[in-house]
Amino acid sequence: MEIIMRACFILLLFAIFFSGGEISATVFTLQNSCSYTVWPGTLSGNAGTVLGEGGFALLSGASVQFLAKSGWSGRFWARTGCTFDEFGNGKCVTGDCGNALKCTGGGDPPVSLAEFTIANNGDKDFYDVSLVDGYNVGIGIKPTGGAGDCQYAGCIADVNINCPAELKVVDSSGTVVACRSACDAFNGPEFCCTGDHATPATCAPTQFSVRFKAACPSAYSYAYDDASSTFTCSGSDYLITFCPTAGF
């Protein structure tokens, strides 16, 4: 499968080149550094191209590449503990997206997200790793070949290990498989930045988001955590790693 997808990717590049058009696209490389299979989900905004048909399996140690045109926006995440039949029907323990291999919506919380808005006309891309919807798998974004600030963004720490008891999600064996956000767990305006707390001035970090931030300083920990969590780069490709390590 990986060989076929790489071949299709190369053929697409040649098609763009020989059509006489200028190549103006971003290469996303998804790398699975987890010790187990993950099933990445993809969601495209603004009616953009759906990358990877919305979802697929990615074996431990494997990688895959996708080409996105300028102006593309969307997100990537890892699903875990999935079982699908020959028709692509099934479910996942974390990050599920409608009981289907090919997602048509976002991942169910708690889930770690890699989010992108790719620029038009050489302007800055925006990207971030978000734990606003909780955490299931470590995830990192590494820009390559771009210009500007172009910093690494991500969450290397295993948040599940130190997840507060009231936020833990466990599987049938009692293993912690994800850590919920306080918004998802308690649905209060002070945790969800809604109602009277719907502005940066009125929605402050909570004891729970502070713990997420301490574990993953460059990731979004709550809705208004922009200052240290949104990154920019121009003309870059991006490596998205599931379960990144300190040597990433």
Q: Which pLDDT value is given to residue 6? A: 47
Q: Which pLDDT value is given to residue 55? A: 97
Helix (H) or strand (E) holding 3: helix 2-18
Q: Report whether pLDDT(204) > 90.
A: yes
**Identity of the amino acid at 58:** L
Q: Give me the residues paired with residue 39 across strands.
A: 79
| Average pLDDT of the residues in 159-169 | 96
pLDDT, mean over the chain: 90
- Give residue 193's pLDDT band: very low, low, confident or very high (50, 70, 90): very high
Angle at 22 between CA 25 and CA 45, to 5 degrees: 30
Spatial separation of the C-alpha atoms in residues 74 and 17, rounded to whole Å: 25
Helices (H), 168-241: 182-186, 189-192, 207-215
pLDDT in tens, 107-116: 999 999 999 9
Strand duo 125-130 + 237-242: pairing: unpaired
Spatial separation of the C-alpha atoms in residues 201 and 227, rounded to whole Å: 13
Helices (H), 19-127: none
Spatial separation of the C-alpha atoms in residues 62 and 33, rounded to whole Å: 8
pTM of the model as a whole: 0.89
Domain ranges for the chain: 2-12+25-158+218-242
Q: Which pLDDT value is given to residue 143? A: 97
- The candidate with the shortest Cα–Cα distance to 185, out of 158, 210, 203, 167, is 167
pLDDT in tens, 34-62: 999 999 999 999 878 899 999 999 999 99
CATH of domain 2-12+25-158+218-242: 2.60.110.10
Spatial separation of the C-alpha atoms in residues 206 and 223, rounded to whole Å: 11
